Amino acid sequence: MIRGFILYNYTYTFVLKACSHLEALSEGKQMHSQIIKAGIAPDAHVHSSLIHMYTNSDSIACAERVLAEFLVENMHTKNAIISGYLSKGHVEKARRMFDTMEAKDVASWGAMVTGYTKNGMYLEALGVFHEMMVSQVHPNESTLVSSLSACAHLGALDQGRWIHAFLDKAGVTIGVTLGTALIDMYAKCGSIRCGYELFQKMPHKDIVTWGVIISGFALHGQAEKCFQLFDEMIASGTYPNEVIFVAVLSACSHAGYVELGHHYFNQMIHDFGIRPSIEHYGCMVDLLGRAGQLLEAEKFIMLMPEEPNSIIWGALLSACRTYGDVRRGNHAFRHLIELEPMSGDRYKLAGLMLTSAGEKADATKITKFIKENDLETTCGTSFVERDGVVHEFVAGDIDHSELREINRLWMGLMAN
């Protein structure tokens, strides 16, 4: 009882959810103490709320102690702690608990699929999704969206198509959220035509849907289609946000439309009142750099109202490497190593620039510096789908068991 009022379990649940949302650990602990003092036996919902509150505040040990209060397995509380583990990146702990569960419901499976996807473990996400389907547990919308996101990141078109076919066969109504996820999957898996067909059929579209289809056409180098859709979006009464302009400016950059890029950049500021972010400035520097206008790119950076970050200087360095401008490239490189002193990729890019410009002695020094300081450089990773199975390759990998067959298929595709 607090100030003459009796608190019931559902009241505790609401308060604990608020503490969880605000990451108010101190207040959540006070509420937990009040529950204990009141002598009320908390139900599964209260325990789940306590676990959510503790895990969301990164107090995993406290959450585990709450879970230990149950003498018999409780699915709701285990689902809560699995979600909590995954939200904080404790993937292995979540998987161990998931595997020990005697019974799993749609929330259990969905937590694992969504958690793996959010932690960038896309192959594992699809693996759990397949196990879920074999177990004949019907996925909810959140699980389907996460699975489609995993397909999009892996380029797993066949598996994405299978999910779409499953939705049609099951008679699932494809709303805005699910439809947008499907469009994104098709666009990122190389089938922009299928994505656009679905986009046209959707009776309702939100700003995210428009952003996905415009970004998709930008990704596929179809700049004119991006501009057409941009105009259609405004005509439909939906006004662009920051993400839309990143996509449009990116399309201008890859198409070499410098004047049009300036037009959209100014339109964003003056017509729609959007303050440019570092991504917008990065697009403009990339646009000018790709067009060989390195002086203009440098001036643009100097006029930025905020301090340029590694995205900006990296775009300039990349352009300087392309056009062999060692002086400006070295200037950009100096700023980069101040921001990211241990980034092997930045040193590697500078070394490539110097090699291309014939400055082999300096390039050798950079290569030696990378080795002596054991700096990590990113290896290119690609995914190839064959017969519904996604294979991961790292640049230089010659040990993959199906490398010869994949190469044969790739050469066949290139020939066509």
pLDDT in tens, the chain (416 residues): 444 444 556 677 777 778 777 777 788 788 787 777 776 666 677 777 888 788 777 777 887 787 777 656 678 878 888 988 898 898 999 999 999 998 899 999 999 999 999 999 999 999 999 999 999 999 999 999 999 999 999 999 999 999 999 999 999 999 999 999 999 999 999 999 999 999 999 999 999 999 999 999 999 999 999 999 999 999 999 999 999 999 999 999 999 999 999 999 999 999 999 999 999 999 999 999 999 999 999 999 999 998 999 889 989 988 988 898 988 988 888 887 788 777 777 777 787 788 877 777 877 877 787 777 777 666 545 555 555 555 455 444 444 444 444 344 433 433 43
- Least Cα distance to 278 among 325, 252, 315, 230 occurs for 315
Q: Are 222 and 230 in contact (CB under 8 A)?
A: no
- Least Cα distance to 120 among 76, 150, 98 occurs for 150
Q: Count other C-beta atoms under 10 Å from residue 322's C-beta.
A: 15
CA–CA gap between residue 132 and residue 117 (Å, rounded): 15
Look at the pTM and tell me if it is higher than 0.75.
yes
Per-domain boundaries in the chain: 1-103, 295-378, 382-416
CA angle 288, 290, 294 (to 5 degrees): 50
What are the φ and ψ backbone dihedral angles of 396, each rounded to 5 degrees? 90, -5
Q: Tell me the CATH architecture of domain 295-378.
A: Alpha Horseshoe (1.25)
142 exposure class (CB count in 10 Å sphere: 0-12, 13-18, 19+):
middle
CA–CA gap between residue 325 and residue 123 (Å, rounded): 41
What are the φ and ψ backbone dihedral angles of 411, each rounded to 5 degrees? -65, -35
Q: Count other C-beta atoms under 10 Å from residue 257's C-beta.
A: 19
3-state secondary structure of 308: coil
Segments in 220-293 forming alpha helices (H): 223-235, 242-255, 258-270, 278-290
Q: What is the pLDDT of residues 2-37, one digit of tens each?
A: 444 445 566 777 777 787 777 777 887 887 877 777
The number of angstroms, rounded, from the C-alpha of 341 to the middle of its chain's C-alpha atoms is 25
User: Which stretches does DSSP call E strand in 322-369?
Assistant: none
Question: Could you please report the per-residue DSSP string of 347-390?
Answer: HHHHHHHHHHTT-HHHHHHHHHHHHHTT---PPPEEEEEETTEE
User: Which stretches does DSSP call E strand in 66-173?
Assistant: none
CA–CA gap between residue 248 and residue 46 (Å, rounded): 47
Tokens matching residue 326: 């060692």
In the 3-class helix/strand/coil scheme, how is 232-250 assigned residue by residue? HHHHCCCCCCHHHHHHHHH
Burial call 6-42: b when 16+ CB within 10 Å, e when fewer: ebeeeebbebbbebbeeebbeebbebbeebeeeeeeb
3-state secondary structure of 141: helix
Tokens matching residue 5: 């009022």
Beta pairing partners, 389: 386
